[in-house]
Amino acid sequence: MTTPKYDCTKCPGYCCSYPVINVTKRDAERIAKHFGITLEQAEERYLHSDHGYKRLLNRKDDEHFSRICQFFDTDQRNCTIYSARPSTCRTFPGETCGYWDFLKFERAGQKDDDYVSTTWHYED
């Protein structure tokens, strides 16, 4: 097993700001179990259908990225359901992370270990 070349604990959650985080039925069942509710209740509370997907995670407002996963703690900048997170989140990013590389580059350029380059997008 190779050691990852990134540190999620120092990242503001770029990947959690994806507008489409697909959730499989198995993922939804794991989230339901995490909260002690039925699959149907979990789907109603935490998921929606859009972009041709049956189950996507709901999102909430975020100061850095406009919108972010509803399960992301925007104060601590981490996942609140880490043990129950969807398979998409479990497998991302792999051995390297482009976001981590970008973050290190930006922080070095700004000479600020806490700098966060935002990804706000404005709609017309």
Q: What is the pLDDT of residues 40-84, one digit of tens each?
A: 999 999 999 998 999 999 999 999 889 999 999 999 999 999 999
Q: What is the pLDDT of residue 124?
A: 41
Number of independent structural domains in the chain: 1
> Is 122 contained in some domain?
no
Residue 113 to residue 115: CA distance in whole angstroms: 6
- Count H helices and E strands in the chain, helices first: 4, 6
Look up the domain containing 43 and give its range.
18-94
Angle between helices 39-46 and 25-35 (to 10 degrees): 100
Three-state secondary-structure class, residue 111: coil
Res. 122: pLDDT tops 80: no
Percent of the chain scoring above 90 in pLDDT: 56
The model's pTM is: 0.81
